[in-house]
Amino acid sequence: MTCALLFRLLLLMTLPALFQGKRFGSTSRLRYSRFLDPSNVIFLRWDFDLEAEIITFELQVRTAGWVGLGVTNRYTRVGSDLVVGGVLPDGNVYFSDQHLVDEDTLEEDGSQDAELQGLTEDAVYTTMRFSRPFRSCDAHDQDITSDTIRVLAAYGLDDTLKLDRDRTFVKSIFLLQIVHPDDLDVPEDTIIHDLELTDFLIPEDDTTYACTFLPLPIVSKKHHIFKFEPKLLKHNETMVHHILVYACGNASVLPTGISDCYGADPAFSLCSQATGIGHKTWAGSYQFPDDVGVSIGTPLDPQWIRLEIHYSNFHNVPGVYDSSGIRLYYTAKLRKYDMGVLQLGFFTFPIHFIPPGAESFLSYGLCKTEKFEEMNGVPVPDIQVYGYLLHTHLAGRALQAVQYRNGTQLRIICKDDFYDFNLQETRDLPYRMEIKQGDELLVECHYQTLDRDSLTFGGPSTINEMCLIFLFYYPRNNISSCMGYPDIIHVAHELGEEVSDSMEGMMAMNNVEWTPENIKKAEKACKEAQQTVIIKTIDEVVENTTGWIPEIIRAPRGPCLESSGGKVEPQDKTPAGFRAAPIALSGSSTATLRCLPLAALLFGQGALSWLLAILQVGV
C-alpha cells in the first residue's frame, strides 16, 4: 500500500471527527505553563477538559534529542509513566507511552493511551504535544487528579532513549487548577497597597516566625480587596517559606515592633482570622472569584492586620536583612459577597504528637459548628466554601476535610493524597460547597516519620508539625477558627501509662517504646478519645465543646478510560489496560510503515491504530 492511499483512507475516516470539532494536530492555546527545571531548559504548557477527563500537554525542550513527560511518586521513579517522542535525522517522528521498570530502564506499555497531536524539531527546540485521559485503564499509567502531581520530565541529547539523571527532573504541580487568572476581572480603578517588614534581620536560627502589626488602607467608603500577591526580595526567596495575613478585631490592643509570633510575648500571636496567604512556591498571586472580596472601610471591618512571615534559615546564614510582605489589590467596585477564612484542624499545641518510625500515622481535628451563631452574636447564614489551603510540615503526606450532617457523611470538601510541603497554595473548588449551622467538619492528616528517631510534637518550627486546613468562604462571619484535640489522658492510659493530667499525659509519650504495634495503638486511641473542640472569634472570644471522631467513607476511584475511547467502571471485570491483538507483519508492509510516524502526527494515534487493525499491519 502506498503512502498516498494510506493518507486518503485516514482522511476519509477522520473527516466526520474534523467537522464535529475534533482537531488532530491542534495548535489551540494551552492556558497553563511552568518551567520544570532550574535552568529553564524544559518548558511545559497544559490544559484540560474536566467533563471529558482529558488533559493535553505540550513539552518544549532545548534539545535536538528525545523528550519525555510523565508522572512519578514521592519515593521512587520505579513504576513512573513517561510518554516519549522525538524526530529522527531523516524527519520521521517516533512516539510511545512507556514506564520505568527500574530507576533507569524504560519499557513500552502494552496499552498506548497517549494521543500524539504534534511533534516538531527546529534549530533550538524539540516540541511534543499530546493528550491522555485523567485515568486510563493501564496499570502502568499514573492518575491525573486534583491532588498534587509530581511531574516527571526527561530528555536526551540525541535519539537514544536512555535516562540520564542530570537530564531528569521532578516538579510538584497542581495540574487541575479550576480558575485561571486570565478568566477573572481586574477593575480599572485598582489600587495597590503593600504590607511588609522593613529591613528585618533574619535570625541565624533554622526557623523563625516574625510578626508585626500594620494598618490596612484608610478609605472613606467600603472597598474590596480582590487579590493578594507575595512580595519577596529576590535574594531572600529561598529563606521565606510562607507569609500570612491575619485580620485583627477592632477591640484588640496591639503591640508595636517586630517579634517572634509564638515566643515570650503572647500579644504577638493575637489576631487569628487568616485573610491573605502567600507562598514563595506560588506561580504569582491569588485572585478571588469575581463575586468575592475582603471588605475594608466599614465599621465592622478590621483596621489592622498581623503580618506573619515564616523564615527557614537552615544554613544559619548571618547578616541577611529582609523586607518581604504581601501586596494587596483593592477596588471601590464592590463584589457581591464579603469573604472570610475558617481555620480547621488539630489544635497545634500542646497536645499534638506523632511517634517516630511511623510508616503511617493519622491525626484528627474536629469542628462542631453548633455554637457558631451564639458566638457570632447575630444569625450565621449558611456559608459557601469556594477555596481552600492545606498545611502541614515536613512529615505530612496527605490531608482531607470531611463534612457531616445529622451524623452522616455528606462529602469530602477537599483533599490531597500526595501533599508536598513545598507546594502550598490556595486552590479553588470545582463548585461552591454549603456548610450549615450544626454541621461537623473533620480534618484528617497523614504523617510518615520513618526518618525520625524521636517524637515529633505540634508547634511552629518546620521540624514540629501542624495539621491545618483553611476554608475560603462567603458571607463572612466572626468565627476565625474551630479546631480539636483528643483527650491525652485516655491516650496515655491506652498505652499503659498512669497519668493524672494532660501535661503528665504528654510527658508520658516519651516513656513509650514506639514499636509498630504501639504506633497503631496510639493512633487508634487518639481517634477513639473524646475531642475537645476550641472555637475562636476574630475578637479572641473562645468557647469549648466536645465531640467524637466519626468514620470517614473513602472516595472511590472513578471509571478509567480505555485507549479505545470507552469508560470502564471500577467494578467491571476488565483487564488493566486495553490492547488490540497483535497482528503479524507482512512482507509488503515495509513501505506503509515508513509512512506511519507522519500519519500518526497528522491524524492522531487513535485513528491510526484503528486503521492498522483493518489493514492488518502491525507497528
Q: Which residues are identified as catalytic? A: 209, 391
Q: Is 263 helix (H, G, I), strand (E, B) or coil?
A: coil
C-alpha distances in angstroms, 596 versus 92, 95, 179, 211? 9, 11, 39, 63
Identify whether the C-beta of residue 487 lies closer than 8 Å to the C-beta of residue 532.
yes
Residue 524: in which H helix or E strand, if any?
Answer: helix 516-528
Q: What is the dihedral of CA 241, 432, 367, 275, to 10 degrees?
A: 40
d(CA 179, CA 50) in angstroms, rounded, equals 12
Q: What is the DSSP string of 477-502?
A: -SEEEEEEEE-HHHHHHHTT---SSH
Q: Is 111 left (phi over 0), alpha (psi -120 to 50) or beta?
A: beta
Count of other CB atoms within 10 angstroms of residue 322: 21
d(CA 213, CA 271) in angstroms, rounded, equals 9
C-alpha distances in angstroms, 245 versus 262, 273, 310, 444? 15, 8, 12, 25
Alpha helices in 125-278 (DSSP H): none
d(CA 226, CA 191) in angstroms, rounded, equals 10
d(CA 11, CA 24) in angstroms, rounded, equals 11
Q: Which residues of 426-460 are buried (b: 16+ CB within 10 A; e: fewer)?
A: bbbbeeebebeeebbbbbbbbbbbeebeeebbbbb
d(CA 330, CA 328) in angstroms, rounded, equals 6
d(CA 612, CA 585) in angstroms, rounded, equals 11
C-alpha distances in angstroms, 251 versus 61, 437, 540? 56, 26, 9
Q: Are strands 479-486 and 340-346 parallel, antiparallel or unpaired?
A: parallel
User: Given the C-alpha cell 450532617, which residue does it identify?
Assistant: 405
Grid cell locating 356: 517516630
Question: For residue 442, which of 388, 363, 355 has the smallest C-alpha distance?
Answer: 363
Omega before residue 475 within 30° of 0, cis: yes
User: Given the C-alpha cell 486534583, which residue does it identify?
Assistant: 146
Identify whether the C-beta of residue 465 lies closer than 8 Å to the C-beta of residue 354.
yes
d(CA 41, CA 155) in angstroms, rounded, equals 10
Q: How many CA atoms lie within 13 A of 307 on its CB side?
A: 24
Nearest-Å Rg of the Cα atoms of the chain is 27
Cβ-in-10-Å burial (0-12, 13-18, 19+) of 279 comes to buried
Q: Is 22 helix (H, G, I), strand (E, B) or coil?
A: coil
